[in-house]
Amino acid sequence: MRLNQESLHHQREERETALIALQTGQTRLNLNGIEVEVQRSEEGVRIQSEGKEILHVLKK
C-alpha cells in the first residue's frame, strides 16, 4: 500500500514539473529531484521523465 502511495506521489510530481516546464517554455527542468524533458515538434509535444514518456499530445 505504501509503495503505491509513493508511486502516485511521484507521478503527481512528474506531472506538476512537466506543467511548469511547459508554462515557462523550458525544454528540460529539474525540480525537487524530478527531471522532465519536453520535446516539441510539428506533430505535437512529448514529455519524458526518467526515460519514460509521461505525456504525449498530438496536434490535429
Cell numbers that stand for 37 in this block: 524533458
At residue 28, the pLDDT reads 97
For residue 50, the 8-state DSSP code is: T
Please report the pLDDT score of residue 2 as a whole number: 78
Q: Give SS3 for 55.
A: strand
Per-residue pLDDT of the chain (60 residues; tens, 9 = 90+): 677 999 999 999 999 999 999 999 999 999 999 999 999 999 999 999 999 999 999 998
pLDDT at 3: 79
pLDDT of residue 17: 97
Q: What pLDDT sits at residue 43?
A: 95
What whole-number distance in Å separates Cα of residue 32 and Cα of residue 60?
Answer: 34
